[in-house]
Amino acid sequence: MRGVLPLEGIVVVSCEQAVAAPFATRQLAELGARVIKVERPGRGDFARDYDTTVRGLSSHFVWLNRSKESLALDLKADDGVMARLLERADVFVQNFAPGAAERLGLGHEELRARHPRLITCSISGYGPDGPYRDAKAYDLLIQSEAGLVSVTGSADEPAKSGIPAADIGAGMYAFSGVLTALYDRERTGTGSHVEVSLFDALVEWMGFPLQYTAGSGAPPPRTGTSHAAIAPYGTFAAGDGTEVVLGIQNEREWQAFCTTVLRRPDLADDARFRTGALRVAHRPDLHAEIDDVFGRLTGPEVVDRLARARIAAARRREVAEVLEHPQLAARRRWAEVGSPAGPIRTLLPPLTWESDPPKLTPIPEVGEHTEQILRWLDTP
């Protein structure tokens, strides 16, 4: 073991709330950075109150805020605490409403003029300018404006993503942007500014539907778990109710699927299904043929046939099943983290550093580390 995580010694100060910025800084914390989360005195980050499902704590807050220190601070009357923090900080992250950082004296131009090595990161809904600059930017609203809702769901009804896709996308771009800025500082000796918006992040993720629409003149149709351009692709039920997700990517797989899985080699050369485009055009007929065979099999039988045919497949699992997923158990992906409500089961971060374990320190209470941080600021 190296004994040192890659970001040890890096100090991150974050005026953050909700999802995007906390998600970004949690990744930095788990790689060893000291993340000081600045919260309003009293209730703190409003994501603490989203729900009470995790032993009285918010599921979002539990997910996003382990491994950080909480400093309760009134930014409008902080007695110079922020200024002193930023003198020691390597990175400053904020997701204030547009213009709020500047009004507080925390705009990136002002900060970097005072602290040339400081890396600043601003996360907003739509960016620092443009007609949507001041628009509310809840995840659902961004999903709607970026078109994600229009391509998600069934043919009859659009749907939002079941997870906060815009927040997660922006958080990950902020994380990678800060890492890039830290690397650049090693070469140049100066910090830089990272600007991320939820809208830009999600529009980037919409690259396939945007290109499809620009090229064809029509958007990809909503197809549930199916695919607009590939068939068969999606969820099919066995006779015992087990739902299996599969995808046929090429003609070799189609031949194997017909011969080994369906045991209907005649379908491989059926005029309706001879090519990928024809299978998409005749999707209802294709699904009827598959449903007829699968309906007479059990889930294990379907899975076994798919495995023998080397067809890409998966179980469609409910969330409760994922909690007990055999892959997570086999790879020891679960850990425990402390919290104000006691130990909580949590997943290890997906990004780890060689053989060194990630930093997994407790989820803080509001202002839990205020006195400790103030003492540190008073230490030369």
pLDDT class for 220, splitting at 50, 70, 90?
confident
Domain assignment present for residue 225? The answer is no
Say how far residue 245 (Cα) sits from the centre of its chain. Answer: 22
Domain assignment present for residue 45? The answer is yes
State the CATH number of the domain containing residue 242: 3.30.1540.10
pLDDT class for 222, splitting at 50, 70, 90?
confident
| Residue 200 and residue 91 share a domain | yes
pLDDT class for 116, splitting at 50, 70, 90?
very high
> Average pLDDT, stretch 348-366?
87
| Residue 275 and residue 140 share a domain | no
Mean model confidence pLDDT for the chain: 93
pLDDT tens track for 286-312 = 999 999 999 999 999 999 999 999 998
Domain assignment present for residue 227? The answer is no
H-run or E-run covering 20: helix 20-30
How far, CA to CA in Å, does 366 sit from each of 35, 41, 131, 346, 363?
14, 7, 36, 20, 10
Model pLDDT, residue 78:
81
| Residue 195 and residue 52 share a domain | yes
| Residue 194 and residue 244 share a domain | no
CA–CA distance, 197 with 170 (Å, rounded to integer): 6
| Residue 17 and residue 149 share a domain | yes
Model pLDDT, residue 288:
96
Does residue 168 contact residue 133 with C-beta atoms inside 8 Å? no
Output the six-digit token pair for 206.
């919409």
State the CATH number of the domain containing residue 199: 3.40.50.10540
Domain assignment present for residue 2? The answer is no
Give the residue carrying structure tokens 């930093």: 359
Backbone angles phi, psi at 24, to 5 degrees: -60, -45
Model pLDDT, residue 172:
97
Model pLDDT, residue 119:
97
| Residue 349 and residue 311 share a domain | no
| Residue 373 and residue 268 share a domain | no
Backbone angles phi, psi at 206, to 5 degrees: -85, 15
Say how far residue 222 (Cα) sits from the centre of its chain. Answer: 22
| Residue 202 and residue 237 share a domain | no
pLDDT tens track for 147-201 = 999 998 888 889 898 999 999 999 999 999 999 999 999 999 999 999 999 999 9
Q: What is the pTM of this model?
A: 0.88
| Residue 244 and residue 155 share a domain | no
Domain assignment present for residue 328? The answer is no
Number of domains in the chain: 2
CA–CA distance, 245 with 165 (Å, rounded to integer): 22
Model pLDDT, residue 2:
63
Say how far residue 305 (Cα) sits from the centre of its chain. Answer: 34
Say how far residue 59 (Cα) sits from the centre of its chain. Answer: 15
pLDDT at position 3 over 90: no
> Which of 281, 315, 349 represents a domain boundary (last residue)?
315
Does residue 282 contact residue 272 with C-beta atoms inside 8 Å? yes
CA–CA distance, 165 with 180 (Å, rounded to integer): 22
What residues make up the domain containing 244?
A: 233-315
Domain assignment present for residue 215? The answer is no
| Residue 106 and residue 23 share a domain | yes
> Which of 315, 347, 366 represents a domain boundary (last residue)?
315
DSSP structural state of residue 45: S
| Residue 292 and residue 192 share a domain | no
Model pLDDT, residue 318:
85
Output the six-digit token pair for 187.
């070469």
Percent of the chain with pLDDT over 90: 81
- Of 46, 71, 67, the residue nearest 58 (C-alpha): 46
Percent of the chain with pLDDT over 70: 99
* Greatest CA separation for the chain: 80
Around Cβ 117, how many Cβ atoms within 10 Å?
12
Domain assignment present for residue 327? The answer is no
pLDDT tens track for 9-62 = 999 999 999 999 999 999 999 999 999 999 999 999 999 999 999 999 999 999
Give the residue carrying structure tokens 């942007």: 177
Beta sheet of 11-15, edge-to-edge order: 69-72, 34-39, 11-15, 91-94, 119-124, 193-197
- Of 62, 9, 32, 8, the residue nearest 358 (C-alpha): 32
Domain assignment present for residue 219? The answer is no
**For residue 340, with 0-12 CB atoms within 10 Å meaning exposed, 13-18 middle and 19 or more buried, which class applies?**
middle
Among 175-179, 217-221, 366-370, name the one with the lowest average pLDDT.
217-221
| Residue 169 and residue 134 share a domain | yes
DSSP three-state, residue 322: helix
pLDDT at position 1 over 60: no
